[in-house]
Amino acid sequence: MNRKNETTKMSRIKFSVICVAYNHALYIQQCIESVLNQSYPHWELLILDDGSPDGTRDKVEPYLQDARIHYFYQENKGAARLSENYNFLLHQAEGTYVTILEADDYADSELLAEHQKAFMQNPQAILSFSRVRADEIQRTWAGPELPQNEETIKIYTNTPVGTALNLLLFRCFIPAQGTTVNRLSLLENGGFEKVEGLPTVDHPTWLKLAQKGTFIFIPKVLATWRRHNEQTTKQRIVDMTRLSLPVFTKVYDDLSPEMRRMLSTNKKKIKKYWEIQLTKDFIRGGNYQLQSGEWNKARHYYFQSFTRWTSFLFLWRLMAVLGIFFSWLHIPWVHWYTLKSRIFN
């Protein structure tokens, strides 16, 4: 194939946007509309409804007249089997690339066009991600942070292969929203990664792919991550961190000796980081319960944070004390959030 034909083929590549939904009747129409509004025309949208009882199906049905939109329904499997849902859609997908867009999130109109352009320039890359805006109560912010030095650029682009693990072993800097993966590369490496009991698939999957190929970082905000209290990541924040520690230490143990020598971290640092995160997440869990007016549950989380002393964490401990105080007074979370933001941000 000559270069002209190759360029023409790349300019028409198809994206399979995959969307798992559960009780997202309030949000899924905005998600679908954001795909319909893409400036890039070659896409399909695959929606899997995990047994939603809230009328999600009714919200989707008017859009099924568009042949590019496909809807699948199943009895509820639950968040702990999320990887099965994503892998089902992965095997239904026909596109060269698979783009993740959860049903309560939505894309900017240039999302697919920017990823198509990025892969045309770097066809050897297996994953492309951008910045996203996080939309939550009282504030909106964007992440990940723009790279400020050559070291961070190498981490974001996973150059050489494995470099991204220096950060991925500590936090998921690659947002799920709009992240796009080469479908065949994902299939060849076992699909979306399953971790028993962990209600997320993105971070474990990025850890696996970081050992397989280079990444692309697009320094633009191209999708919106809607953060609300019904999300599993908020409701099970402590459980997720508890499960993460053995996962990430095992990833490190399973690395080849060559890749381990390339990293700037070690198992001891990884363990300490996740133990500190667990303390912080008890406090975050208390904050979420306070937001919901669950005063007793909030206090339970705050008190649990004082059973862990991997690090002193003065400001976090102070936050827990203040949270306990506000929970006893039954002060609405919105007032607590305003005070917390002034102290800790």
CATH number, domain of 35, equals 3.90.550.10
> Quick one: DSSP state of residue 32?
H
Does 214 share its domain with 331?
Answer: no
Which of 135-139, 147-151, 330-334 reaches the highest mean pLDDT? 147-151
Look up the pTM and report it. 0.85
Q: Output the average pLDDT for the chain.
A: 89
* DSSP 8-state symbol, 38: -
pLDDT at position 136 is 72
Q: Reply yes or no on whether the pLDDT at 335 is more than 70.
A: no
- The mean pLDDT of 164-192, rounded to a whole number, is 96
169 or 227: which leads in pLDDT: 169
* pLDDT of amino acid 131: 97
DSSP line for 135-176: EETTEEEEESPPP-SHHHHHHHHTSSTTTTHHHHTT---S-S
Q: What pLDDT is attached to residue 287? A: 87
Mean pLDDT, rounded, for 248-258 = 92
- Could you read off the pLDDT of 196-210 as tens digits, one per residue? 767 789 999 999 999
The domain boundary, picked from 174, 209, 228, lies at: 228
Q: What is the pLDDT of residue 3?
A: 47
Phi-psi group of 177: left, alpha or beta (phi > 0 → left; psi -120 to 50 → alpha; rest → beta): beta
Tell me the C-alpha distance between 257 and 177, whole Å: 33
Are 244 and 138 part of one and the same domain? no
176, 255: one domain: no
* Domain end position, chosen among 185, 206, 228: 228
